[in-house]
Structure 1
């Protein structure tokens, strides 16, 4: 078992949770009691982390929200990741996807400067964009497979030919959708390591999620939940677990961190997080 997967499994077991809270902070949207601070992102994140640290299996920071705040946002991100308990994985969501020295620089920045335990990657360029990150044996990557955006079908549902010499034998059709091809390639990347490879899979496409799980039974899933609690969560819990019993990383952001924009924002975030966790527990596996 890789160090990243072991750390994730321990966090899930300790807190009985698949919940990953997305620290997607917009400085202008921080609650009124926080806004007078010169750098409101840091105290806001500190309060959210302190209120929820025993309810999560991971925290995820979307790089775009911090870049949007300029230098202050990047400084805040560097400080925020140091507030997260060392036994809780940190996922830096940057959808990185480049080659050569650029990919190596992204990996150094994510893993060495921002101390991320895992990152999200775009596979469009191919293996050259993935392997520089997998050189870090104690870290992980989540490769985008099937997303929930309106036009995901434009590329992700393209049909591609199966190459038996390369693809896993579980692909029992002459053609696959591109997202299924990505899932099969991720099996190989995970096996080659030394870092761990997982997949980003949408909860709004349960049939595709089930298909990906069949193709990639051992890979951890990072599953963003965008809306209110509904049947998407049931699918995420049912199909998100690996063959070895590792649970999904179910990421929720706005509905937790902005559960209130008043002085009680931290208490409201905890209550919202607990509601998610209790529903996950009711669906089994925890």
Structure 2
């Protein structure tokens, strides 16, 4: 999916909502465990109930890998079920030497046909470039995350006094463009979002941390939105686990609808 199509979907739905499919067998409603494929049965219901409001879905690959071959089957069925006009993100956080990254890219872009993949930048250009060679596919590079250990490295000053995340932003923009490169930016600190936006004014940000992790959607929009919206805001647990009963799909829909309505207001306010 190209940038123009993605932005068009955001405009059409008045939404920049990404629904995270972090589907855990231990957390899905117990009645689904009788299904032949409980993971897919859960995801199918979530997609059916939230597709009106979502412009992206983001399966966290670890939840599927942990189940072995069956998990990969559930993931592929889920990916095939997502409407084709909705952006798909493989939250895989890959990144290895060039020939290995090339095979990761083939796996997720050719075999599975995801629109994008999250990538760690630590090994540098040759670990990222293979993912950028695919037309209308995206790299979502880890830039400034909001987990507890993010300060261990991401904000350390490098030579010249720049924090490491700034170096990542500046250098990576020589590898790709705002047509194929996005950044992961955590939602829990509005001032930090503004700082990242200063160094990447035209790129899309994938922003986790809104909802269960306490990030403010208002702050994310205020500090992160640009003329093309420039945001995909992810909510996982707050939507998909809104209920653990038979009404889980309707509960997920209600939560997704609330976020979409707030996003529509923010698009009008800041867009």
The alignment's TM-score, normalised by the length of structure 2, stands at 0.94
Q: Which residue of 1 aligns with 2:161?
A: 175
Q: Which residue of 1 aligns with 2:135?
A: 137
Q: Is the 8 A contact 2:181 2:203 kept in 1?
A: yes
Q: Which residue of 2 aligns with 1:216?
A: 200
Q: Quick one: structure 1 residues 29 and 231, their matched pair in 2 at CA, closer, same or farther if it must change by over 3 Å?
A: closer
Report the 3-state secondary structure (helix = DSSP H, G, I; strand = E; otherwise coil) of the residue aligned with 1:283. helix
Q: Which residue of 1 aligns with 2:183?
A: 199
Q: CA RMSD in A?
A: 1.7
Q: Which of 41, 44, 47 lines up with 2:45 in the alignment?
A: 47
Q: Which of 105, 113, 123 lines up with 1:125 in the alignment?
A: 123
Matches within 5 A, 1:97-116: 97-116=95-114
Q: Which moved more, 1:142-151 or 1:30-39?
A: 30-39
Distance 1:235 1:129 in 2: 33
Q: Which of 135, 152, 155 lines up with 1:154 in the alignment?
A: 152
Q: Which residue of 2 aligns with 1:187?
A: 173
Matches within 5 A, 1:15-54: 15-54=13-52
2:229 maps to 1:246: yes
Runs (4+) of structure 1 moved beyond 4 Å? Answer: 228-231
Gaps of 5+ in 2: none
Distance 1:98 1:268 in 2: 39
Distance 1:68 1:230 in 2: 27
Q: Deviations over 1:124-180 (max 9, x none)?
A: 00011110000002111110011111111110011113xxxxxxxxxxxx4210011
2:269 maps to 1:283: no
Distance 1:186 1:100 in 2: 15
The alignment's TM-score, normalised by the length of structure 1, stands at 0.89
Q: Deviations over 1:244-270 (max 9, x none)?
A: 423300000011011111111111100
Q: Is the 8 A contact 2:40 2:74 kept in 1?
A: yes
Q: Quick one: structure 1 residues 43 and 219, their matched pair in 2 at CA, closer, same or farther if it must change by over 3 Å?
A: same
